[in-house]
C-alpha cells in the first residue's frame, strides 16, 4: 500500500496468513534474538539504515484469538497499560481512519511519533479462521511534525492470529 492510498490489498492480507502457517526466515540473515514462553523473536539488520526489522512467532496460551485481536486494536486500553504512550488517538482524514501515536523516550533521546493507517480482516485461510491486522505509515497534513519529536516515516506492521486448537492463539508478527 502506498501511504495514503486507501485500503490494503487482499494479497497483503493473504501473505500475512501464509507466513503464519509457514514462517519465512530463509533468504536473509535473520538472527534469533530471544525465545521465551513459546515465543521466538528474530531480527534482521538493515545495512543501509542500521535499524532492525523484527519477526515474532509463537503461541500465547490462554488467550483466544478474537480477544487478542480486539486488544491489539483497542487504543484506549493501550493507553492504560503502556507507560510509554504520550499521545494515542484516531482521526478521520481523507476518508480513512488515521492513528497518531507518540512514544515517550528517556533523556537524552527524543520522543518518536507515528502517523499510520491500519485495517483488520478475518479470513478463512486453509480452513482456519485468521485475524489479520495490517498497518503502515501515511502522510496527512492534519498531523504536522512536532518540534523535538522524531517522526517515524517508515512504519509497517503485519499481524496474523489464529487458534492454537486449544485455549490459546498462534501468532505471527513483523
Cα 127-71-43 angle, rounded to 5 deg: 75
In this structure, are strands 111-125 and 149-151 parallel, antiparallel, or unpaired?
parallel
In this structure, are strands 96-103 and 111-125 parallel, antiparallel, or unpaired?
antiparallel
Average the pLDDT over 72-86 and give the result: 96
Average the pLDDT over 78-104 and give the result: 95
Domain housing 83: 10-173
Burial (CB < 10 A; 0-12, 13-18, 19+), residue 98, is buried
Tell whether 135 is covered by a domain.
yes
pLDDT at residue 4 is higher than 50? no
Mean pLDDT of all residues belonging to the chain: 91
**Total-model pTM:** 0.89
Over residues 93-136, the pLDDT tens digits come to 988 899 999 999 999 999 999 999 999 999 999 899 999 999 99
pLDDT band for position 14 (50/70/90)? very high
Total tally of structural domains belonging to the chain: 1
Tell whether 1 is covered by a domain.
no
pLDDT band for position 138 (50/70/90)? very high
Tell whether 133 is covered by a domain.
yes
Tell whether 104 is covered by a domain.
yes
Q: Please report the pLDDT score of residue 95 as a whole number.
A: 87
Q: Which residue has the cell 489464529?
A: 162
**Residue 159 · residue 173 · CB < 8 Å:** yes
pLDDT at residue 2 is higher than 70? no
Q: Which helix (H) or strand (E) holds 11?
A: helix 10-21
pLDDT at residue 68 is higher than 80? yes
Q: Please report the pLDDT score of residue 26 as a whole number.
A: 73
pLDDT band for position 24 (50/70/90)? confident
Tell whether 87 is covered by a domain.
yes
CATH number (domain holding residue 39): 3.30.530.20
Tell whether 122 is covered by a domain.
yes
Q: Which grid cell is 148?
A: 523535538
Amino acid at each position: 500500500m502506498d501511504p495514503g492510498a486507501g485500503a490494503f490489498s487482499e494479497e497483503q492480507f493473504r501473505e500475512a496468513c501464509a507466513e503464519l502457517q509457514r514462517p519465512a526466515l530463509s533468504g536473509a540473515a535473520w538472527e534469533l534474538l530471544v525465545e521465551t514462553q513459546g515465543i521466538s523473536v528474530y531480527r534482521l539488520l538493515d545495512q543501509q539504515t542500521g535499524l532492525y526489522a523484527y519477526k515474532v512467532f509463537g503461541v500465547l496460551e490462554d488467550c483466544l484469538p478474537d480477544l487478542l485481536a480486539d486488544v491489539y486494536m483497542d487504543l484506549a486500553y493501550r493507553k492504560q497499560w503502556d507507560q510509554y504512550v504520550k499521545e494515542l488517538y484516531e482521526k478521520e482524514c481523507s476518508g480513512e481512519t488515521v492513528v497518531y501515536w507518540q512514544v515517550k523516550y528517556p533523556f537524552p533521546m527524543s520522543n518518536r511519533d507515528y502517523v499510520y493507517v491500519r485495517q483488520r480482516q478475518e479470513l478463512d485461510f486453509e480452513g482456519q479462521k485468521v485475524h489479520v491486522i495490517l498497518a503502515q505509515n501515511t502522510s496527512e497534513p492534519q498531523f504536522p511534525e512536532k518540534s523535538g519529536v522524531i517522526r517515524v516515516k517508515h512504519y509497517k506492521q503485519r499481524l496474523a492470529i489464529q487458534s492454537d486448537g486449544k485455549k490459546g492463539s498462534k501468532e505471527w508478527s513483523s
